[in-house]
Structure 1
Amino acid sequence: MVRLVLFDIDGTLIRTGGAGVKAFERTFATEFNLPGAVEGINFSGRTDPSIVREAFLRRGITPTEQHFQVFYDRYVFWLDELLHQLDGAPCPGVETFIDDLHHLPKPPVLGLLTGNIRLGAEIKLRHYNLWRHFHTGGFGDDHEDRNTLAAIAKKRGGELIGARLSDDEVLVIGDTARDIECGQAINARVLAVGTGLYSPDQLSVHKPTWAVADLCAISAAEVCR
């Protein structure tokens, strides 16, 4: 039985209308005079720090701790601004699926497993009234590597629950191959959803436990039993 459910954010819980990418672009342009800094960079399933690092290195800038801090301080400002300007919404089935998780006979703890820095995750999910559901997780500012983040999120979830979680007690939900990979790295069950850039057929190649079109297509009880 699943005791901890870890959700990815972008393309899994919400679609922001590109607010995150646009906030990256604005921050590089306004703070570092680097317009177009993220052109050609694949954001899918990656951590914010790894994207920032790649953008700096492409422009020949050594990514120091101070550079990261300046970037994040301005990024969260632009992110909040753009979320209010762009059309976005929770992905199909998300709110009902979360409600169903809360109403299981033994509700699991809900957490996040995301490449977003923690404050960025909070800003995004508060905007869509979803932050209140999540009580633990692993975030981009914990580590640049998604697989390491999965281990961090599992450990924190276990500490919150007060138990060392077995592999079968953890479910990871995501929309990219990297989400599947990081779930598999901790031997968790993995539910892949086709609400991001990839179809269920494309995601199935990476052998998740389930691959569905969206969270309307499968029940909370089925994946948590």
Structure 2
Amino acid sequence: MLDNRLAVPDNRLAVPDNRLAVPDILALFDIDNTLTRSSITHRDAFFTAIKNIYGINTGFAGLNPHGMTDRQIISEVLKINGVEEHRIDEGMEKCLRDMAEIFIRNVENENLVILEGVADLLKELHNRSVLMGLVTGNVEAIAWAKLEIVGLDHYFKMGGFGSDDSIRANLVRLAVGKAVKDFGFSSGGDVFLFGDTPKDIIAGKEAGVKTVAVATGIFSRGELSGSNPDYIYESFGDFSSIINNLGL
């Protein structure tokens, strides 16, 4: 059962162990379709929260949400449904919190799936003292809940979340800033951003970090190539080759 449902786990703020005293490599990961399959519970929580807060019964209304932040998705869906911007802003924080509460109440009924090679990749990066964080469009409480359910949360120390900003490149910058401030990451160190959508790659490039695309979501290798990632893979299946290729 999830404890302290909407609280950030204490170990996120803990001083890292001696192996991470001066980390010079930071690996940042998207969650949905990068680490795990997308969550139906999360999707349903979107629609229920929008109905609860704004009184609108809707789906994604033709919007492709892949690579967008939760905050951005809610805003765009409401605009499509004719909701004025001032009303969107007034209800946004309540909607995000309601969505997180709905998700956390129901996610244990869903069988979230870790993608191929992910568990082995994270374990090996941890063994090599690579500092790891998140850059995800999920609101923070939902992000940590997903990772806790599948047993991956302990690998990650910080992140940039969809509750922080609607612009994904800002989430990358925020995560890097937290790594420097709270975990001693060297500001001149290498940062790798892993994601499955063109928006992940574009955000990483805008933030000035190295980008690693994985064709584990709805976008093919060819489609991801159009965003010019620094590295591209079909999956994390051959995780040892990925680690060696990236020099991790």
Same fold (TM over 0.5): yes
Is 1:19 equivalent to 2:44 in the alignment? no
Please name the residue that 1:117 is paired with.
Answer: 139
2:211 aligned to which of 170, 190, 197: 190
Name the CA distance, whole Å, in 2 between partners of 1:169 and 1:52: 33
Letter of the aligned partner of 1:198 in structure 2?
A: F
Name the CA distance, whole Å, in 2 between partners of 1:173 and 1:2: 17
1:156 aligned to which of 155, 161, 178: 178
Q: Cα offset for 1:164?
A: 4.1
2:101 aligned to which of 54, 65, 77: 77
Letter of the aligned partner of 2:50 in structure 1?
A: F
Counterparts in 2 of 1:63 and 1:7: CA distance versus 1, 3 Å: farther
Instruction: After superposition, give the CA deviation of every residue in 1:169-195 in whole Å (9 maximum; x if it has no partner).
Output: 101000000111111122222111111
Please name the residue that 1:205 is paired with.
Answer: 226
TM-score, length-scaled by structure 2: 0.82
1:90 aligned to which of 80, 101, 114: 114
Gaps of 5+ in 2: 1-22
Counterparts in 2 of 1:161 and 1:88: CA distance versus 1, 3 Å: closer
Instruction: After superposition, give the CA deviation of every residue in 1:57-88 in whole Å (9 maximum; x if it has no partner).
Output: 23333345541122122211321244233343
Name the CA distance, whole Å, in 1 between partners of 2:247 and 2:30: 17
Q: Cα offset for 1:12?
A: 0.4
Instruction: After superposition, give the CA deviation of every residue in 1:19-75 in whole Å (9 maximum; x if it has no partner).
Output: 222211122234433112422122111111111111222333334554112212221
Name the CA distance, whole Å, in 2 between partners of 1:194 and 1:63: 37
Name the CA distance, whole Å, in 1 between partners of 2:101 and 2:109: 13
Please name the residue that 2:20 is paired with.
Answer: none
Q: Cα offset for 1:97?
A: 0.3
Name the CA distance, whole Å, in 1 between partners of 2:244 and 2:183: 20
Name the CA distance, whole Å, in 2 between partners of 1:16 and 1:53: 20
Counterparts in 2 of 1:67 and 1:15: CA distance versus 1, 3 Å: same
Instruction: After superposition, give the CA deviation of every residue in 1:101-140 in whole Å (9 maximum; x if it has no partner).
Output: 0122xx1110001111111111211111111111011111
Is 1:223 equivalent to 2:246 in the alignment? yes
Name the CA distance, whole Å, in 1 between partners of 2:61 and 2:149: 26
Name the CA distance, whole Å, in 2 between partners of 1:198 and 1:217: 19
8 Å contact from structure 2 (residues 133, 159) kept in 1: yes
Name the CA distance, whole Å, in 1 between partners of 2:114 and 2:87: 33
Name the CA distance, whole Å, in 2 between partners of 1:63 and 1:53: 10
TM-score, length-scaled by structure 1: 0.89
Counterpart of 1:15 in 2: which secondary structure?
coil
Name the CA distance, whole Å, in 1 between partners of 2:82 and 2:39: 30
Q: In the TM superposition, what are the counterparts of 1:39-54 in structure 2 within 5 Å? A: 39-54=61-76
Return structure 1 stretches of 4+ with deviation > 4 angstroms: none
Name the CA distance, whole Å, in 2 between partners of 1:4 and 1:163: 8
Counterpart of 2:57 in 1: which secondary structure?
coil
Equivalenced residues, count? 222
Name the CA distance, whole Å, in 2 between partners of 1:23 and 1:124: 13
Please name the residue that 2:201 is paired with.
Answer: 180
Name the CA distance, whole Å, in 1 between partners of 2:150 and 2:65: 21
Gaps of 5+ in 1: none
Name the CA distance, whole Å, in 1 between partners of 2:137 and 2:56: 22
Counterpart of 1:5 in 2: which secondary structure?
strand
RMSD: 2.0
Please name the residue that 1:101 is paired with.
Answer: 125
Counterparts in 2 of 1:94 and 1:163: CA distance versus 1, 3 Å: closer
Name the CA distance, whole Å, in 2 between partners of 1:218 and 1:130: 16
